[in-house]
Amino acid sequence: MAGASSESNPIHDLMIDDLLSNGGELGAHIRRFDWSATALGPLTLWPQSLISALSICLACPEPMALYWGPQLIILPNDAFRVILGSKYPDCLGLPAQQVFPELWHLIRDDFMRVMEQDARYAISTSSCPCSATAMSRRGISTTASVRYGEKAVTSAAPS
């Protein structure tokens, strides 16, 4: 990973430990997962902004997923598993396009808009082009109503 240091940072390591111990089932799965084989690289080299954003995501009782980096690697919370169905746990470390191929043509532009403009983008159920669309869950195609919002997470320090 560009800009990552191999030096150990005790505060960073404590935050990772706290994140994983308080992150529910997904926190435990993240701890066991071999991230070095993914675009995110080893967990110990993840940037502080990723650890902080993931901490918020994992603590949320509502379905939430963090999509990180230009490949939009999915990091879901426990509640998001209902949306993933049988795609969990195999979705960890995969780009959104691979996790949701049946929806990608509907959601790609939204993700790209957020990534390119560093902007917030919210979709209400009534205006969402995929508000009632076919989605593969547990190996079968089901109709799902979707309401979502997106916001870019930046790693820049506040001024």
Give the C-alpha separation, 155 to 43, whole Å.
16
Q: Which residue stretches of the chain have pLDDT < 70?
A: 1-15, 19-21, 118-140, 142-152, 154-159
| Domain chopping of the chain, boundaries | 9-99, 100-151
The answer to whether the pTM exceeds 0.75 is no
pLDDT at 93: 92
| SS3 state at 91 | coil
Return the structure tokens found at 95: 């780009």
pLDDT at 157: 43
pLDDT at 115: 80
CA dist 38 → 2, 34, 42, 72, 141 (Å): 14, 8, 8, 12, 28
